[in-house]
Amino acid sequence: MAAEKWVLMVTAQTPTNIAVIKYWGKRDETLILPVNDSISVTLDPDHLCTTTTVAVSPSFDQDRMWLNGKEISLGGGRYQNCLKEIRSRACDVEDKEKGIKIEKKDWQKLHLHIASFNNFPTAAGLASSAAGFACLVFSLAKLMNLKENQSQLSAIARQGSGSACRSLFGGFVKWIMGKEGNGSDSLAVQLVDEEHWNDLVIIIAVVSSRQKETSSTTGMRESVETSLLLQHRAKEVVPKRIVQMEEAIQNHDFSSFAQLTCADSNQFHAVCLDTSPPIFYMNDTSHRIISYVERWNRSVGSPQVCSFFATLSGRCYEFCHLKHIFVLSILSASARENSYISFP
Helices (H) and strands (E) in the chain, counts: 8, 17
Q: What backbone torsions phi and psi does residue 270 show, to the nearest 5 degrees?
A: -65, -40
pLDDT 10s digits, 68-100: 999 999 998 999 999 999 999 999 999 998 899
With CA atoms as reference, report the closest residue to 201 among 43, 319, 49, 306.
319
For 11-70, the pLDDT digits (tens) are 999 988 989 999 999 999 999 999 999 999 998 888 788 999 999 999 999 999 999 999
Strand order in the sheet with 200-206: 200-206, 315-321, 305-309
Amino acid identity for residue 246 in this structure? E
Q: pLDDT-based confidence at 336, cuts 50/70/90?
A: low
**Average pLDDT, stretch 108-126?**
79
Q: Give the count of beta carbons closer than 10 Å to the beta carbon of residue 292.
A: 12
The secondary element (H helix, E strand) that includes residue 240 is helix 238-250
- Residue pair 34/25 in contact (Cβ under 8 Å)? The answer is yes
Paired sense of beta strands 93-95 and 100-102, if any: antiparallel
- CA 166, chain centre distance (Å): 5
What is the helix (H) or strand (E) element at residue 152, kind and residue range?
helix 150-157
β-strand pairing of 111-118 with 33-34: unpaired
8-325 to CATH, choices 3.30.230.10, 3.40.50.2300, 3.40.50.300, 3.40.50.720? 3.30.230.10
Position 302 confidence tier, pLDDT thresholds 50, 70, 90: confident
